[in-house]
């Protein structure tokens, strides 16, 4: 709260898109916007994940340490509840990718509610977009590997009588090859963007009302209480969106691996 009070003079109300473009954190001139808080948060995410999993698995014990138990639980959750449940026993070979994806998205999203960070890299479309492209290339590659080039026919020609196919094939192409990567990226991005915007509105709105007239102080307090409540809502959205991204990736892989009907 103190940090925001200090930052208040620069903060305009209402908040806008420009609030997502933070200044560079590198002190010297001429570096442009290559190293911002967003960049740093992604680097920290990657560092945390690498260090955590390396140390957790470096010396696995039969009776696990807490850290190892935690790492095992995360991997076991994605492996059993997403990969195997969605794809079947063949899904085990995708569990490492899905776990990496899940942890990366979850941590990146989590920065949105970590005090002091309070902005998620996922609220910039670039990160979800690249993740969606990776998943997109993955499921197409898996499909081509399994069915050969016939995968595309398998994917866009539904089991239906021939006269209705001209109606259905465009829908299948649009739904399977255009909407999928787009919706993966936009769903994650928009949720994190809107969440950050919501918190900004209630936090800065409290200050705006307080600055307008002291009579509105009780409403400002209500607004900040709402900020706290919405932070918990954000926690839910963060978990849900990382789960949904991974579940849908697994679903697309499952579709690519499915046998002919």
Partner 1 sequence: MARSCRLSAPRPHNGLVWGVSAGRIRPADIVRPVMAGDPKPPPPGDPGDDPPRSDQGFVAMSYLISGIVVWGFIGWLVDRWLDFGGVATAIGAVIGAAGGVYLIARRLGA
Given the rule CB under 8 A, which residues bind partner 1? 57, 60, 62, 64, 68-69, 72-73, 75-76, 79-80, 84-89, 92-93, 96, 158-160, 164, 167-168, 170-172, 174-175, 179-180, 183, 244, 247-248, 250-251, 261
At CA 95, angle to CA 93 and CA 98, rounded to 5? Answer: 130
Nearer to partner 1, 51 or 164 (CB): 164
Nearer to partner 1, 99 or 223 (CB): 99
DSSP codes of every residue in 64-87: --HHHHHHHHHHHIIIIIIIIHHH
Nearer to partner 1, 23 or 161 (CB): 161
Minimum gap (Å) between residue 9 Cβ and partner 1: 44
- Residues β-bridged to residue 36: 24
Minimum gap (Å) between residue 29 Cβ and partner 1: 47
Nearer to partner 1, 26 or 84 (CB): 84
Minimum gap (Å) between residue 86 Cβ and partner 1: 6
Nearer to partner 1, 20 or 53 (CB): 53
Q: What SS3 state is found at 7?
A: helix
Nearer to partner 1, 11 or 68 (CB): 68
Minimum gap (Å) between residue 121 Cβ and partner 1: 24
DSSP codes of every residue in 163-200: GGHHHHHHHHHIIIIIIHHHHHHHHHHHHHHHHHHHHH
Residue 104: CB partners within 8 Å, gap ≥ 6? 45, 46, 49, 131
Q: What SS3 state is found at 36?
A: strand
CA 37: distance to chain centroid? 17
At CA 153, angle to CA 151 and CA 157, rounded to 5? Answer: 130
Minimum gap (Å) between residue 261 Cβ and partner 1: 7
Minimum gap (Å) between residue 144 Cβ and partner 1: 20
């Amino acid at each position: 709260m103190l940090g925001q009070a200090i930052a208040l003079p620069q903060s305009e109300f209402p908040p806008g898109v420009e609030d997502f473009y933070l200044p560079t954190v590198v002190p010297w001139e001429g570096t442009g916007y290559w190293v911002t808080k967003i960049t740093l948060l992604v680097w920290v995410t990657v560092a945390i994940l690498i260090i955590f999993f390396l140390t957790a698995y470096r010396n696995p014990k039969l009776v696990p340490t807490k850290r190892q138990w935690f790492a095992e639980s995360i991997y076991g959750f994605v492996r059993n509840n997403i990969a195997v449940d969605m794809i079947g026993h063949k899904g085990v070979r995708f569990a490492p990718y899905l776990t990496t994806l899940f942890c990366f998205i979850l941590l990146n999203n989590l920065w949105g509610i970590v005090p002091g960070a309070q902005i998620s890299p996922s609220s910039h479309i670039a990160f979800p977009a690249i993740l969606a492209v990776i998943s997109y290339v993955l499921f197409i590659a898996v499909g081509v590997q399994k069915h050969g080039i016939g995968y595309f026919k398998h994917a866009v020609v539904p089991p239906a009588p021939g006269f209705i196919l001209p109606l259905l094939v465009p829908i299948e192409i649009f739904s399977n090859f255009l909407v999928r990567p787009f919706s993966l990226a936009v769903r994650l991005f928009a949720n994190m963007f809107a969440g950050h915007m919501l918190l900004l509105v209630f936090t800065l709105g409290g200050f705006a009302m307080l600055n307008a007239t002291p009579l509105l102080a009780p409403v400002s307090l209500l607004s900040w209480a709402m900020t706290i409540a919405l932070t918990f809502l954000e926690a839910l959205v963060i978990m849900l969106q990382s789960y949904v991204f991974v579940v849908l990736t697994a679903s697309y892989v499952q579709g690519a691996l499915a046998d002919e009907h």
